[in-house]
Amino acid sequence: MDAVRLEIFRHLLASVAEEMGAVLQRAAFSPNIKERRDFSCALFTAQGELVAQAAHIPVHLGAMPLAVQACLEAFPDLQPGDALLLNDPFRGGTHLPDLTLVHPVFSGDRLWGFVATRAHHADIGGMSPGSMPLSREIYQEGLIIPPVKLLRAGQLDTAVWDLLLANVRTPEERTGDLRAQLAAGRRGVARFGELIDRYGAELESAMEALLDYTERLMRRFLEGLPAGTYRFEDALDDDGLSEDPVPIRVAITLTGGEAIVDFSGTAPQRPGNLNAVRAITVSAVYYVFRALIGFDIPANSGCLRPIRVLTPPGSVVDARPPAAVAGGNVETSQRIVDVLLGALAEALPDRVPAASQGTMNNWTIGGWDPFRGRYYTYYETLAGGAGATPDRGGTSAVHTHMTNTLNTPIEALEYAYPFRVRRYAIRDGSGGRGLHRGGDGLVRELELLAPAQVTILAERRRLRPYGLHGGEAGAPGKTVWIHRGRARTLPGKISFWAEAGDRIRIETPGGGGWGAEHRHRTGKGPREPDQGSRVK
């Protein structure tokens, strides 16, 4: 296909996913989806290969093809107007709060492909509000949904709907968010259908050509890297149930335009909830290689064709049921990225950054809201410092790597929940020193206006984000609970009941520095943090 026309089709398909995202965000009910935009949208071929995506969340998008393929296996006889719902991490999901809706796209009787949305719902049941508990098995984390039909020929299956809403703490909010996902899916089906009607067989050829083109670009990139095996090891602080670090090891072998990414030697799955399913590990590999290629490569499954991912079954990067997995999606995915970048830093020393904060700093808070007369669940991830790069300092207070969400604005936070934001600021000096300094983390402090259960699931509290080529590590994160006037530093993973008037302060990690400090051209020692990277 002509290169110009192929590029046109690339953007036509991506525009469908972007429009789906706009519909989902505008129609959503919860601050987590409407304000933080914790959702993703994508298009797939009839075989379940990712062919186009919006610029949404990496940990969602890389794993979604496995969800679509699970739906195909469960329902080979799909019909126009069907929509399938799932969240089972062992069948293409990530963790239980991420609900995925998959809509087949037909023209006549022929299946042409799929559109899908994945959104993080602030509660899906389980042993604590927000469905991110310090669990020992997946059954404690909420309602598990294998692929089921939510729509049958366009009609809502009320039995499935009612069953889901009966198992969550905030059914009104879940209703609004799920209806927003359904609306986004309908929009995607309509727009995809318009492309089919307009271009017919040429569209099918374009989708295959895009996958092949992306594969060629990735192979060419891999051919340009020095052949060899590159190894790296890093660890999670602990699994929340013991203080033992959880090592993750990788060996990346580059040869002949292909890569083998082998996680042999990684820790076995743990009793705590930091176990990641294979879909998350594959998603992290997809993200890292696409990010490092250095130019605007199409985002589709062609990226992974030259890359073979080996994950030891029963390990923290390929957990098996009934392992707890709530934190694997948000925390272990970040450490997988850290080890992949650490290994590739030797092959690409002029491109790979130092470690970013390496955690999403998850906190969930829930309880009865006496001011609004309803139950609530709040979930948020917090930004931190980005790792410095070979040519500049790291950005401060930014979401990095496997998350691409925004913050919840203070106004929206205080409007929706019984909280008062006491402090929101850059954590000056938390970035690692070096020729280029790591970005600083941030400080977020909330005061509770009513009693609530608080769960913190965070990393990089003990093991700091590494620097590269002589750069220093970033500062570790810190969580403080101020109870009846007394401040107490908490572990990275904890769940507790707090009283009205209590304050919780999270100080997020800084990014690692890059390069030895004495190499600074001015000879004046470390530069001051880049004011241009400060958030307002």
pLDDT in tens, the chain (536 residues): 899 999 999 999 999 999 999 999 999 999 999 999 999 999 999 999 999 998 778 778 788 999 999 999 999 999 999 999 999 999 989 999 999 999 999 999 999 999 999 999 999 999 999 999 999 999 999 999 999 999 999 999 999 999 999 999 999 999 999 999 999 999 999 999 999 999 999 999 999 999 999 999 999 999 999 999 999 999 999 999 999 999 999 999 999 999 999 999 999 999 999 999 999 999 999 999 999 998 888 989 999 999 999 999 999 999 999 999 999 999 999 999 999 999 999 999 999 999 999 999 999 999 999 999 999 999 999 999 999 999 999 999 999 999 889 999 999 999 999 999 999 999 999 999 999 999 999 999 999 999 999 999 999 999 999 999 999 999 999 999 999 999 999 999 999 999 999 999 999 999 999 999 875 444 333 333 333 332 22
227, 255 contact by CB (below 8 A): yes
Two tokens at 96?
A: 């239980």
Q: Residue 79, exposed/middle/buried by CB under 10 A (0-12, 13-18, 19+)?
A: middle
Mark 291-322 as b/e (b = at least 16 C-beta within 10 Å). Answer: bbbeeebbbbbbbbbbbebebbeebbbbbeee
Two tokens at 419?
A: 């909280």
- Cβ atoms within 10 A of the Cβ of 360, count? 28
Two tokens at 374?
A: 């309803």
184, 117 contact by CB (below 8 A): yes
324, 207 contact by CB (below 8 A): no
- Cβ atoms within 10 A of the Cβ of 106, count? 20
Helix (H, G, I), strand (E, B) or coil at 430: coil
pLDDT at 519: 57
Q: CA dihedral defined by 170, 505, 363, 121, rounded to 10 degrees?
A: 50
86, 148 contact by CB (below 8 A): yes
112, 188 contact by CB (below 8 A): no
What global pTM score does this model have?
Answer: 0.94
Helix axis angle, 278-292 to 333-344, nearest 10° = 40
- Cβ atoms within 10 A of the Cβ of 490, count? 18
Q: List Cα–Cα distances, 313 to 136, 199, 261, in angstroms.
A: 18, 44, 15
C-alpha to C-alpha distance for 359 and 370, rounded to whole angstroms: 33
- The one-character DSSP state at 142 is -
Q: CA dihedral defined by 381, 382, 387, 392, rounded to 10 degrees?
A: 120
Q: Which residue has the tokens 């076995």?
A: 268
517, 433 contact by CB (below 8 A): yes
Side-chain-facing half-sphere of 283: CA atoms under 13 Å: 31
Two tokens at 532?
A: 């241009």
Q: Count H helices, E strands: the chain?
A: 11, 20
User: Whose CA is closest to 457, among 94, 127, 135?
Assistant: 135
Please enumerate in sequence order all residues whose Cβ is within 8 A of that of 512, keeping only pairs 6 or more positions apart, or say none.
354, 355, 356, 387, 388, 394, 432, 434, 438, 464, 465, 466, 467, 468, 471, 472, 473, 474
pLDDT at 527: 35
SS (H, E, C) 370-387: CCCCEEEEEEECCCECCC
C-alpha to C-alpha distance for 136 and 147, rounded to whole angstroms: 24
222, 270 contact by CB (below 8 A): no
Helix axis angle, 158-165 to 171-199, nearest 10° = 140
